[in-house]
Amino acid sequence: MTITKHAVNSPFVLTPPINEEKPQFALEGSSKGPLEHLGLAVKDLFHMANLPTGAGNPDYLKSHVNARKNNTIETNSTVKALLNAGAVFKGKTITDELAYSLHGQNKHFPVLTNPAAVEHIPGGSSSGSAVAVSSRLADIGLGTDTGGSIRVPASYQGLWGMRTTHGIIECDKMVALAPSFDTVGWMTRDLATFELVSKVCIPAHTQRDITGEPRFGIAHNLFNSALHKELCNAWIEENLRPHVNTRDIFSDKLDLAAMNTAATFRVLQGNEIWQQHGQWIEEEKPDIAEDIMSRLLWCKTITNEQVAFARLQQHNLVTHLEVLFQDIDVLVIPTTPGIAPRCDADSTTLANDRNSLLALTSLAGLAGLPQLHLPLFTLHNAPCGLSFIGKKGNDLALLALARKLESR
């Protein structure tokens, strides 16, 4: 079984019917439900009955199809829930290799165009699911977020997207990257659809409301781009301050560089990545993009001492955020430093962009908190926005706040 060939810029690696002569595409679901008629694009990390999972790499696909040949493949529980709610499966989508990138570029597939900003990269690693939604080939883009793989493409393509509270949605029957940080998430073009999907996927018993008047903390020092900061401040002054309780947070309360968030995340994530994929990499010697392979081989070098120190730093960060959230309910930060890099950006520019991204995305990742991206702005004809980070279990509460603000 091989990956299906698709036209240039198709976000799909596999679409039904899989084989017209010998039908093997059969998924249980419902034609009725709250998601009736909504098209579903599924990142090629989620296992689905009778369909291969390639994790963005042809060698992974070949080796793991052979390994699973005599085993029954079951469908991931979130995919099942969406199908049972009436969603219509449109296909499996391109992911950056092993989901270990934030740029949405995969050398094994045709280059994906960012429909919202054609001269800029689409963002990853849930790149195909995002492109499927932003190009209107699907209504729901199912993906994963470990270090920003939902939030980054959502920001770069002007979509709603969320990293859910870690652990509230089971990451079953899927290819893991770093289980302590892996989450299931989704992207849509509008908030109404996003809410419908969220209520299907997020178990109600995991959620808690924000009691009383919500208190918003504005992380001013994290808005680095002058124009981005200007847009964000204008939106905050018009939409937040007149209506809700806001508090200003500066570098003395939230200094990501001093907290070493990006480096801490890289070590802890990298240690788990090698545990997940190291043996396969050494035995199969797969063909993987140079930048990703370089990071994978670095993962192998991480020492127990580095992991122990990173866990201490993670503990200190979580403690710091717990104190911060005693005075606020929602932390407002930029989702990404700005708009997506240009398609012709060199490797140094992309590496620097990745470091800047991780400094922001690792905040919620290290603490296991929910983060909702709001697609609010356009800079130089390219999308970007800001995020609401809440306490654990505030996923649906963040959506309710966004809905209330949008209705004003």
Residues annotated as catalytic (active site), given as ranges: 43, 125, 149
First CA to last CA across the chain, in angstroms?
51
Distances (CA, A) of 88 to 36, 202, 271, 343: 8, 19, 37, 32
Amino acid, res. 262: A
- Give CA angle at 175 (200, 298), nearest 5°: 130
CA distance 302 to 307: 7
Query: Any idea which residue has 């800047």 for tokens?
Result: 356
Q: Are 180 and 268 contacting, i.e. CB atoms less than 8 angstroms apart? A: yes
Whether 57 and 97 have beta carbons less than 8 Å apart is answered as yes
Query: How far from the centroid of its chain's Cα atoms is residue 360's Cα?
Result: 13
Amino acid at site 265? F
Peptide bond into 30 cis (omega under 30): no
Q: Of 366, 361, 367, which Cα lies nearest the Cα of 392?
A: 367
Question: What are the structure tokens assigned to 18, written together?
Answer: 């899989």
